Structure 1
Amino acid sequence: MSPVSRGRKPKKQKKSRGGRKPQPFLADFTRPVGRPAWFDPALAAAVAETAMLAGVSGPRELEEATATLIGARLHAADGMGATRYGAWTEELVGVLAERVREGGPEWRGAWFCLHGLLSITPAEMSDWVGEVIEELRPALPDAGDGWLAAMSQIAPTGEAWRLVDAYGTRIGLAAEFRYPEPGEPMVYLLDFDISGFPRLESAGVHDDLDHAVTAWRNEVGPSAAGAEPRPIGDGADVAVLTYWDMGELFVTGFESRTVMDNWYRSQRRADDLIAALAKRGVDLPKHRSLVEELDIEPTVTAFTTWYIDHHQQAPAPEPTEALAAEWLETALPGTELAVSPRRVQTVLQLVGDWMDGDLADGVRALLPEWIRWNAAQVGLPPEFTEAALAAMADLN
């Protein structure tokens, strides 16, 4: 294999352009010893599929096709409980570079795939892929780059919006992007569930804001029916990006195909959005420990007061404090009172993980009133309160 495709390593990641922690795409400390068995079959399948890329007609189509091609392989590996996606992608770049250098019928698809990676991978990886492309280019006088040369230049226009469902635990961030003129603008949507630690539920490209909003409402369901997009105005609107972690340590093995298609692209677009907002003077909130800085006393006091008003007696102190701690430890700043079916199930799972029988039973017995109290504080409609209460039974 050529020096371009072997022995070259992507540069180490630079500091994040905002409050979101950078996620290195090579994380040696997370890797098992040895080369994963899924690498070679995935490489062979991906390279074979690059042939279809040579027929795409523009940047957006190539971006989507590349994301889908890569996502198929990562999703298959995810289903086997495998990670090391960054190392696999590094090898893929090497194989693609070798195909281009060798020529033959497969070189053009590999060439297009390398350019597609320019648009969807995080900045540091994209920079490295760009260097590989530049080393290959002198040997390809007939490459006919045209619009391919613009693949790394996708950028946000500065237009960005936030969507929130009735529960307050499903967050959509939509931002307009475009390739250099005459590229048409498009909207990229990031859809997060923040009922526990932030989790990307879906992501993707849409023709415009209306299409993105419709897709988000359909994905989220009834709780999103009345949600309207609001322009992002301050860092609190995008606080989820401060706490979202797409690192391989957080892979569960149950990610959807849509999420894996956007494994790299979601990180790239999020960082681009952060940079665009920073130019407007909008910075992400500073990351703080949700556990170490937790103060449950105000919440315990407020709930206890409400409980006495409704039941003429105070709740048991120990279960109240335990419930408050579990509820608040995964609540992002500003969402302490947000209640949703998934947040209820998350808390119940945490309770079952470590609490002894008597304490766990006390917390479970108190949880319905805790749900009603939180719902009353935020004015949650009755039908959604009932859905949150029903989530307790769903987990049994």
Structure 2
Amino acid sequence: MPRYLSADYIFPASSEPVKDGVVVINDSGEIIDLLDPIQSSEISGTIEHYQGIIVPGFVNSHCHLELSHLHGKIPKGTGLVSFISAVISQRAAEEDQVLAAMKTYDQLMFDNGIVAVGDISNNHLSKSVKQNSQIYYHTFVELLGFDPKKAEIVFQKALDLKADFAPLQASIAPHAPYSVSVELFSLLKKYSQGHDNLFSMHNQESEPENELFLHKTGAFIDFYKMLNLDLSFFEARSQTSLQTLLPLMPVNQKIMLVHNTFTNSEDISAANHSKKNINWCFCPNANLYIEQRLPDIDLFLNSGFNITIGTDSLASNDKLCILSELKTIKEHFSELPSSQIIRWATLNGAEFLGIENKFGSIEKGKTPGLNLISHVNGTEITHLSQIQRLI
């Protein structure tokens, strides 16, 4: 029997909101139809009506599930370099502890209305959790290696780890400009020419990243000394990290740049001129947790590129909840309509991950999951808004 769900507004994500609309689904959660009030007046069955907004299931475009055991262990507001040092020193833990944390927060993501995740992995531990999850995962196997002499070894290990995740969806992705050598980027670019390989990278999350690439100065210099890494090979080119590395990114793959906290208009212009398939991903709560600063989202609105939303990890966030990220965006960029940022958190993320045929929007034939956002002001999310998974 069909099930009829209605709310004050339905946000399909692929089209304009429908006031007093009705979503018709079958027993498997597939969308049969989306009706306006006139069409729904002919329904003979019971309509479940909710106060608020019904939206598609959320897509968390950037997460580190394997760091879930670090929840609450790293202090806030210390800056990225100190944060990275803390993660390095504290991430080691018993396997059972790490697995238990991942299972707990995978379920909480599901409860928070998340249906798909782009997840960063440095080891194979998350595979079993992902295989048994109700959430769709794409795993980004992370490349980490700033020493050019180790590029071949690092890349081969990434290839092996990607193979370990089969048959789950996975690709190889660089961690960040300050942690991946030019040689390693070149190997990845060559690999991407012959393989379907979604590209994700942390981008300009801190000012020291740009200082390193502009002048070979800043906090990362001391960080490398701590790691006993000889930086004689590295030359600053008087360009920001993004401007320096855009030529090394693949031309035939979708690219997601994550955080972008210190990305400026010149960087965005360079991305436009690169003619590459850029997607900007914002993780606002993590940015506030680490740097106490948000990206200037207004700069990105007319870039012509996709915008998606992520949570980052529980090392840098209090929860893995996309609605919490959207509420933070609304708090600081109140002029942005909720319908726009909900699209970032649903259809745009699904399109980046290549799963828009099933997820991301309320359209016939899809099984995107349905969430209710309550305590809203008309069509707008408020600081009181709450999430309830309907299917």
Q: Could you say which TM-score interval applies, normalised by the shorter chain?
A: under 0.3
Larger radius of gyration: 1
TM, length-normalised to structure 2:
0.23
More helix by proportion, 1 or 2? 1
More strand by proportion, 1 or 2? 2
TM, length-normalised to structure 1:
0.23
